[in-house]
Amino acid sequence: MRLPVRQYGDPILRAKGKRIEKLDDRIRELAQNMIETMHAANGVGLAAQQIGEPLQLTVLDVSQVEDRPSTMRLNGKDVDPKTAMPLILLNPQLTLSRETSIGTEGCLSFPEITGEIERSESVMARGETLEGELIEVEATGLLARALQHEVDHLNGILFIDRMSSAAKASWASRLKRMQKETQRSHGRDARSLAGQSAL
Ligand SMILES: [Zn+2]
């Protein structure tokens, strides 16, 4: 099932995700729905906060992107990132390389906004699979960037926080408008919910 993607201005995007201690059907279903939602939106990653759940859960899929390559090692072995997608990670922790590069990023919670963001060139992600196995993912290229973007989400950090102040200033009016629109539609949701509970 596709889920609505929370937009900038929704306070849940600033929530730090809770560690997932128990793997149950709810988490498995959530992960499947997140993959479906990410694919439907042509995204390369989605964090649980973006569908309204403050949990340490993210899904990624870089297999459809041709012009921005990635490399991947899974538990110490080279793998073709295309065959290893979609990647589901619970409770991920990142170790970042010191070398950085600047690249363009967008975010499903910020339609129409892109930014040049400095990130580490390679990362090591340690996390758990939906089967409860511990895995180590070493990545470079787009996958390394996407992992950093998603793990930021899990900690309530958004890509606009990592833009240069000049870039952020250039988006200021659009960001303000987005925030207002999101809050207005929340007001509508709250009113319709109040109406339902009155019945
Ligand atoms: Zn994002």
Those residues with Cβ within 8 angstroms of residue 187's Cβ, 6 or more apart along the chain or in another chain: none
Q: Which of 84, 90, 74 is nearest to 130 (CA)?
A: 90
How remote is the CA of residue 194 from the centroid of ligand 1, in Å? 31
Do you know the residue count of the chain?
199
Band the pLDDT of 195: cuts 50, 70, 90: very low
The residue type of 85 is: M
Is 66 a residue of the active site?
Answer: no
Q: What is the pTM of this model?
A: 0.93
The Å distance, Cα 60 to ligand 1 centre, comes to 11
Which of 72, 75, 93, 76 minimizes the C-alpha distance to 84? 72
pLDDT band for 190, please (50, 70, 90 cuts). Answer: low
Q: What is the DSSP letter of 153?
A: H
Q: Which two tokens stand for residue 69?
A: 């390559």
C-alpha 121/C-alpha 144 separation (Å) is: 7
Task: Tell the residue number behind the tokens 């390559």, with chain if given.
Answer: 69
- Check whether 191 has a pLDDT greater than 60: no
- CA 150 to centroid of ligand 1, rounded, Å: 6
Peptide bond into 92 cis (omega under 30): no
Say yes or no to pLDDT of 197 above 60.
no
